Structure 1
Amino acid sequence: MVSDSSHQNPQECEMTRNQRGLVETCFEEGQYESGIAVLEQLRSESFKPPVSLVRQLFYIALYPPPPSLDHVEERDLNPASPSKGSPTKTKHQAPKMTFAPSVNASEAAQRLLLSFVRTNTPTSLFQALPQPGKSDELPFESDDHDSVVAKESLCIKDAKHCWAILKEGFVPRIKISQPSLLAGKKRRGKLIANTEEYIEEKYSDSVLAPVAEHAWLVLQWLVELFQRDESLASGDGSVKHSPLLLLQIPSPRSGTGLRWEADAPLDIVFYCVSQGQPQRRQLGLELMALLIGICLTAEFDFNMFLEQVTSRLYSATPEIVQTFMSGFHLSRSAQLFKLALCRKFLSDESGGRNPSSRRPKPQARAVRAARGAAAAREQNLSFTSANDSSASFSASKISMPPSGDIVHLLTGPNGRTSPAIITVKKELLISYAYLQQIAEQRDVEWQQLATDGRLEDQVNSVFGGESYAQQDRDALISLVRVWAMN
């Protein structure tokens, strides 16, 4: 069983009640930028921020900006006519304020979250995220509900997983009908606000994006959190992974077996690589590298994950396939995964499988019972932590195929060709050559293919027939000649 208790900083203490109160007072009065500034001043490696305040930061960071034609939606509440009332009454009238976060407050919250992930331990910050499959182990004090954002931020705790909070429309704009001060609260005002579950009209006729336009920095925060956790968890094992990221993959509903539900983060990965901005594409590739790390652990169903990725490649555009396949890290684990992915993609294509029916179905997991004693032993293993020894155990299942298999996939009849198939064949060769170069024992047949000219001939044959493959052919021939000299 995966444990999330590792990587605690023994010197990281809870913030004092007075420190927390300074921030809460600002938030209760709707002064979010001031509260965020105070929290920034309190940020320290010695003090971890309270879970409720980090959750409120998420809510503020994810709060959608106002529609372009309605910038005063929540700010001009019951404006007083200048011709009515005496100057004295106007002077003593309570100032108009909004309890909905402003754009400036959202940007400040995003910056502070990124600062926290670079200061405090991943485990302490992780507690503010949704916890799949966990009961509420962190009861909320009554003070947590003193502000509008404290109450509204509970939607983050109740989300299915951390990926859900990024989705377009997850945090709706606060719809305020009438401001009112609650009786008995003289020191702090409370606004009666109503957050209706609605989606802006602009969303009604379109599929909601897995990452809202204003949520990209929160996605960056998640990636940096899991990368730091992966770095802290790294031991002597051959495969690095983030134990906290593994916890965001739900356990099977049956309570037994391997984790496999990675559709949500994979949707985000492929959405990222479809973006025009290089930074967003890179963010998706970094998330994919993290997912590869956990898919190689003994608690994750590697074959199901491979199927999920392959099905997305079949429905992707050639440009997305090119961006995705060329973005893998130059590490043994990443290249082994890419090699397995290329082999599956080309094997299924040559076998005539219908891409439209490739989406994995959860009920298909029942066949695991027939996979023998080794599979049963793997499922029954009890882990006290997601460490690198477990990762190494599962990574050993990905073996290097003989060069003959690679040549067969490269030259075998695929029934058709396309830019996507050409890209996958190119990446198949590149990954296999890289793994051969770093292997302790190289495949003798591969060396002979590269040195006697046969591999160059095969590249000319496969990549020379289509005009869109000419550039790939020229690049591969240059690489083959380099491989022949190594």
Structure 2
Amino acid sequence: MPLSPSQQIIHTPYYSAWRRDGGPVDIIFAPSATDAESDMRPPNTTRQIDEHGEVNYYAAADNSILEDRKLLANWKEKLGEALTRDVVKAAVIQQKDTWTGKTEKSTIRDFPAGYELFIHRKGDHYSPRIDAYLYDAQMQDTERFVPENGSPSKLLSKQQRSSLFPSPAATEAALNLLSAFAITNTPGSLMRAFPTYPQMGNASNSSPHNADEENEDSFVARESQRIKNARDCWAVLREDFAQRKSDIFPSPRKRRSARIEAHEDKDDNEEPPSAVGQYAWPVLSWIVNVLEKDEALAVESGQPRHSTLLLSQIPPPRTGSGARWDLNAPLDVAFCAIQQVNPKYRSLGARLLTLLINLAATTHIDLPIFLNSVGSRVFSLPPGDVTLLLGALPSSREVLQLKLALYKSYLTDFGSGANDDSSRPKPHARAQPRPVAARRRQDSLADGGPVTRSPALEAHSRSIVRKYPRTSPSEVVELIRKSPSDVSIRVVSLRVKADLAITYWTLQKQTADAADVEWLSIFKTGQVKDAIEAAFAAVSQSSGCEDDLTIRETRLMVALVSAL
């Protein structure tokens, strides 16, 4: 293909580089430019048949090999991508020009002088195994993509795998398509792409295994089976789930002992994989959108606000019945997002936590264990993050009830001074009333229009709604008045106490009946305000726990409580 002078991006005494349409770079070497060395040759170029009738030698590639355009193009592309990434791009930037090229699909027009393709024939002399090797200069030892010289079939296989990894444009298009699916399809039909745990009373509700799926010719089809074989949708989000393009090409060859030592050092120093990988955030956003839509459809059908699709991503007890309690995977994902710097990711974490809280407002979830799991994560955050998280949660009845129960649990366990692990009750699976048959499938739900509630549906809705234990106003005041013996948690406990009063007040206003007379009386007489100010004074006078910003923020909360 002829190149226009306007496409040239750099010219040196050793090479010229040209930018093709779309960004890939063509590199043309000067006739005398080469780094080939005469001693970089195969060890054995003589064909000899041993006593077993086998051969093991290297021969210069003949015309039949040199005419294999795919094989030669593969080598030229590998070298072109390496030189573009490590040499050409740096040179363009150094001459103060704007880099507009792309590493991917860059190539060299011809091999430098001295580069030669050899064929390694090994095995039975009638039909030996044939591997292609490109012998050149130092790059064979220093660049990892050059020494990976295998048979032509292996090379083409690796080339296919590399080319099938999606480009940023393809990834964006796929995400747009997923978003369109979320708008035009029911959540139940979309979440079938992920594995699910069996429903109560069913041994398995997974799709039947198809033996032909293991023999798929398509690389993409084979890779997609990893999603089906995952435990749940949370496993798909993990940092170690998706294979990146850089994982295709192994590192340069090292001595076996060196590889073992490096592997052991990596195992000793490596942190566990993140619950959400670097490239998994758009997928998490899509999953949260689908689950929120499923939750909204439940409300439209007269059900309590919860997502049965989210429930299907939580493992059931081993007994097969009772409330589900192992929510570590979704909670790890939620709090991984909550602790990110990016506000969009933090919002995703708060939304997923809200979905879990709404699900915990039903008898499908073991509440004591859920409170223990959430509390241990929430109160291990820095005080400022605790406030941001609690403020990001909506003021729905389900969230307020959960926050009230969470605050009571925290202040009861730690507010009285019982701050060691041995004094805190350990979580145990507690059997809840077994729910009746699950609600209708999502796919059968009408796209619009009012939904008529049958008596059976109303009875089912009432049966799965959790009844939180009542909290009396005097109990709230007593929890606020107590001062924890552990000085290090007094700042956090003060925030919790102020938000406890606000949460209780808001929950009282949302009840169908009139607000509790005792609570109104306590507020009018100033008992709540006095209790919080006493707790605030205890924090201000404590040594070793001063946090000016935290105390100033908490003072605003105290003023808000006083104004209620």
Task: Say which of 73, 81, 96 aligns to 2:111.
Answer: 81
Task: Say which of 155, 159, 164 aligns to 1:100.
Answer: 164
Do 2:400 and 2:503's aligned partners in 1 also have CA atoms closer than 8 Å? Answer: yes
Do 2:484 and 2:490's aligned partners in 1 also have CA atoms closer than 8 Å? Answer: no
Amino acid at match of 2:484: N
Secondary structure in 2 matching 1:456: helix
Q: Which residue of 1 aligns with 2:242?
A: 171
Residue ranges of structure 1 left out of the alignment (5+ in a row): 1-68, 86-93, 179-197, 370-374
Do 1:464 and 1:470's aligned partners in 2 also have CA atoms closer than 8 Å? Answer: no
Matches of 2:475 and 2:269, distance apart in 1: 49
Task: Say which of 423, 426, 444 aligns to 2:495.
Answer: 423
Indicate how the Cα distance of structure 1 residues 106 and 450 shifts in structure 2: closer, same or farther if over 3 A, else same. same
Q: Write the deviation string for residues 207-255 of structure 1: whole angstroms up to 9, x where unpaired.
A: 2111111111100001000000111111475730111111111111222
**Structure ID, larger Rg:** 2
Indicate how the Cα distance of structure 1 residues 438 and 285 shifts in structure 2: closer, same or farther if over 3 A, else same. same
Do 2:311 and 2:359's aligned partners in 1 also have CA atoms closer than 8 Å? Answer: yes
Do 1:258 and 1:301's aligned partners in 2 also have CA atoms closer than 8 Å? Answer: yes
Do 1:167 and 1:210's aligned partners in 2 also have CA atoms closer than 8 Å? Answer: yes
Q: Write the deviation string for residues 408-459 of structure 1: whole angstroms up to 9, x where unpaired.
A: 1101132134332122112111110101122213111211222223332223
Do 1:237 and 1:388's aligned partners in 2 also have CA atoms closer than 8 Å? Answer: yes
Secondary structure in 1 matching 2:341: coil
Task: Say which of 431, 436, 439 aligns to 1:382.
Answer: 436
| Residue 442 (structure 1) aligned with residue 515 (structure 2) | yes
| Residue 161 (structure 1) aligned with residue 232 (structure 2) | yes
Q: Write the deviation string for residues 361-408 of structure 1: whole angstroms up to 9, x where unpaired.
A: 78x33xx47xxxxx5xx13x4323287865644544213411101001
Amino acid at match of 1:330: S
Task: Say which of 349, 367, 384 aligns to 1:284.
Answer: 349
Matches of 2:508 and 2:383, distance apart in 1: 27
Do 1:229 and 1:244's aligned partners in 2 also have CA atoms closer than 8 Å? Answer: yes
Do 1:311 and 1:359's aligned partners in 2 also have CA atoms closer than 8 Å? Answer: no
Indicate how the Cα distance of structure 1 residues 236 and 348 shifts in structure 2: closer, same or farther if over 3 A, else same. farther
Provide TM-score, normalisation by structure 2.
0.59
Q: Which residue of 1 aligns with 2:16?
A: none
Indicate how the Cα distance of structure 1 residues 359 and 239 shifts in structure 2: closer, same or farther if over 3 A, else same. farther
Indicate how the Cα distance of structure 1 residues 396 and 207 shifts in structure 2: closer, same or farther if over 3 A, else same. closer
Cα deviation for residue 113 of structure 1 reads 1.4
Q: How many residues align?
A: 377
Q: Write the deviation string for residues 325-358 of structure 1: whole angstroms up to 9, x where unpaired.
A: 2222111111111111111111110344456569
Residue ranges of structure 2 left out of the alignment (5+ in a row): 1-84, 90-101, 117-155, 199-203, 251-262, 441-456, 541-547
Cα deviation for residue 475 of structure 1 reads 3.5
Do 2:303 and 2:461's aligned partners in 1 also have CA atoms closer than 8 Å? Answer: yes
Matches of 2:529 and 2:424, distance apart in 1: 36
Q: Determine which structure has the larger strand proportion and give its number.
A: 2
Matches of 2:426 and 2:481, distance apart in 1: 32
Do 1:343 and 1:409's aligned partners in 2 also have CA atoms closer than 8 Å? Answer: yes
Provide TM-score, normalisation by structure 1.
0.68
| Residue 149 (structure 1) aligned with residue 220 (structure 2) | yes
Cα deviation for residue 463 of structure 1 reads 2.1
* Residues 118-133 of structure 1: pairs in structure 2 closer than 5 A: 118-133=183-198
Indicate how the Cα distance of structure 1 residues 232 and 358 shifts in structure 2: closer, same or farther if over 3 A, else same. farther
| Residue 410 (structure 1) aligned with residue 475 (structure 2) | no
Indicate how the Cα distance of structure 1 residues 396 and 209 shifts in structure 2: closer, same or farther if over 3 A, else same. closer
Matches of 1:388 and 1:103, distance apart in 2: 50
Cα deviation for residue 476 of structure 1 reads 2.8
Task: Say which of 317, 324, 330 aligns to 1:265.
Answer: 330
RMSD: 3.7
Amino acid at match of 2:502: I
Deviates more, 1:103-112 or 1:301-310: 103-112
Do 1:167 and 1:211's aligned partners in 2 also have CA atoms closer than 8 Å? Answer: yes
Task: Say which of 538, 553, 556 aligns to 1:471.
Answer: 553
Task: Say which of 79, 103, 109 aligns to 2:174.
Answer: 109
Percent identity, aligned pairs only, is 32
Do 1:328 and 1:334's aligned partners in 2 also have CA atoms closer than 8 Å? Answer: yes
Indicate how the Cα distance of structure 1 residues 138 and 318 shifts in structure 2: closer, same or farther if over 3 A, else same. same
| Residue 227 (structure 1) aligned with residue 292 (structure 2) | yes
Indicate how the Cα distance of structure 1 residues 453 and 300 shifts in structure 2: closer, same or farther if over 3 A, else same. closer
Secondary structure in 1 matching 2:164: coil
Cα deviation for residue 202 of structure 1 reads 11
Cα deviation for residue 176 of structure 1 reads 4.7
